Amino acid sequence: MQSFLKAPNFSKTFFYKQPQNKYQEFCNAYAYYKQATLCDPKLNREKLSQECASEWKDVKKHDNVFIESKICEYYETIPTTVRSHQQILMSRNATPSSHHTPTPSTSKQYKEYIDITSLPKNAKSQYDAAVKINSAMKKISECEQMMEIASDDSMKVMLSSKLIEEQKVVSEQNARLNKLKRHADAQAKLAAKKNKLLEEGIVERYDTPGRPSAAMKDPELWDKIHDSIEFGAAHAKRRKVVIKVRTIKHLRETLEEKYNTYLSRQCLSTYLQPRHQNTFAARRHHHPTKVGLASVARTEMKTHIDEHYCLASVKAARTFAEVFADETIIISQDDKAKIGLGIPAVGRTFKAIQTTNEPVTVEDHDFPMGSKMKLIPSVYLIINPADSSDTLRTGQLSIFIRPEYFIGTSSATHMVDLKNIISNEKFSATLKKENEVKPILILLVDGGPDENPKHMKNIIQYAHLFRTLDLDYLTIRTHAPGQSAYNPVERSMASLSAKLAGITLPIGEFGSHLNSQGNVVDEELARKNFEYS
């Protein structure tokens, strides 16, 4: 109860404890005036200082007598609480019949305590609201008792304001408690309604956490997926081909169009066969249908008697390059598979959705349009040993494309490509040091007839390159036949294959340059068509 008896204290030295001039005295007086007017002893110091400075600009224009009178006027300000109590006393003196101080009335709603034991045990929010109501009711009772025995008018005003605050708390908590009770009643009615429906067998109960699976909502989902994967056969004696190759995107669209079944891509993939059975990701494929993402790829690598020797030779060259990293250039070169014109650019690897019981087959009528109607990409990977993260598999890529019919590829064309790469300013940071070509060059090739260092015609070209670039050391290393996949440039060419999948390059954009037998009849037109492709 000591907090009720404490009256607000307004400081008369708010800014300066010992003012040295009229300005500082004026600031203290103005601060006291604002505290008494607003009945708040803890005003914002910065904001009050700005207001005081603005007021001083007008006051300092007058003489000292006016300034002193203004300071005294501020210090004589009567606080709001005292002023309001004086008005109450004046009104009492004006009424002769009233000889006692009436106590503020408290309505019936502030007299009733809440029985906490009657609340449900699991209703924590209702319990907290009831405790706050009872605590406020106790404070209201204490305030009323203190007001009856208090003789100081300012104390009665303080108790009256405290009484109003506690009554407000009781009102708010009563409203909150009633709202919580209404919500609890509504939830109880809803639970009773659901239990009744469960007893009548109208709804199906799902006890496991999370959402029910799509298969539980639609038991025919597996049949719908099978029906959406379409196959067809041509003449049974000749072949069986896939009429429509589907991806997960197409499968989703078909399920939505035919059966009005919408599934996200990730959800639908969990009802297909996993790519690898013995993985953690395969656990998410619960009850998969006999449909999977099939792929055709030729990834088996041939064995060779010299494979260990060749691999050790390449590794030794890489170790040498790491020792002289600032003076060495590594270039991995290879020719990508020829890209036919007028037929699918990539026929080796593709992916399709189909049942696991069906073989992976493709159509057998993709015939070439003519002899040597293909493009040959020559790919070069420039590797910087000083900046390769200890893998020597990353670097800058350069691609040269030539038509097979007119030029083709040979050791001479490869030397021309290497000279063009070295003269290109884009590769100067990797290939040159102080505007001079680095003295050590290591070439990693696949050992084909146009690159193998055992053939005399290739040796002559490499010797000419050695003299032209003024090198100190040139070595050509190859992998064993059938194991060119170890060549670092093969990783870069894999991304090219993915971008060419499903693309057919045109062969007759400006008109056909072939006759019915597939022979070239117009070479000028053929050059235009090749250039366009």
| C-beta of residue 409 within 8 angstroms of C-beta of residue 297 | no
**Both 360 and 284 in a single domain?**
no
In terms of residue numbers, what domain contains 145? 103-196
| C-beta of residue 326 within 8 angstroms of C-beta of residue 369 | no
Q: Which pLDDT belongs to residue 179?
A: 92
User: What stretches in the chain show pLDDT beneath 50?
Assistant: 1-6, 85-86, 88-103, 107-109, 232-245, 362-368
**Both 488 and 422 in a single domain?**
yes
Which domain-ending residue is among 223, 256, 289? 289
Does the residue 44 lie in any domain? yes
**Both 464 and 517 in a single domain?**
yes
| C-beta of residue 35 within 8 angstroms of C-beta of residue 41 | yes
CA-CA-CA-CA torsion sign (262, 264, 266, 267):
negative
Does the residue 208 lie in any domain? no
Does the residue 477 lie in any domain? yes
Which domain-ending residue is among 223, 254, 289? 289
**Both 270 and 330 in a single domain?**
no
**Both 282 and 345 in a single domain?**
no
Which domain-ending residue is among 258, 289, 320? 289
Q: Which pLDDT belongs to residue 494?
A: 65
**Both 498 and 404 in a single domain?**
yes
CA distance 492 to 412: 23
Number of folded domains that form the chain: 4
Q: Which pLDDT belongs to residue 3?
A: 44
> Which residue(s) pair with 321 in the sheet?
none
Does the residue 333 lie in any domain? yes
CA distance 472 to 433: 14
Map tokens 């005081």 to a residue. Answer: 52
* Structure tokens belonging to residue 242: 């896939």
**Both 70 and 184 in a single domain?**
no
Does the residue 478 lie in any domain? yes
**Both 160 and 220 in a single domain?**
no
**Both 357 and 491 in a single domain?**
yes
Does the residue 297 lie in any domain? no
> Based on C-alpha coordinates, what's the Rg of the chain?
47
**Both 378 and 469 in a single domain?**
yes
**Both 331 and 445 in a single domain?**
yes
Q: Which pLDDT belongs to residue 350?
A: 52
CA-CA-CA-CA torsion sign (242, 248, 251, 257):
negative
Helix extents (H) in 428-477: 428-431, 456-468
CA distance 280 to 151: 81
Q: Could you tell me which residues come within 8 angstroms of residue 45 by beta carbon, excluding any fewer than 6 positions away?
A: none
**Both 29 and 164 in a single domain?**
no
CA distance 19 to 5: 32
Does the residue 39 lie in any domain? yes
Q: Which pLDDT belongs to residue 99?
A: 41
Does the residue 440 lie in any domain? yes
Query: From residue 149, how far is each of 97, 144, 145, 155, 489 by CA, in Å?
Result: 21, 9, 7, 11, 99
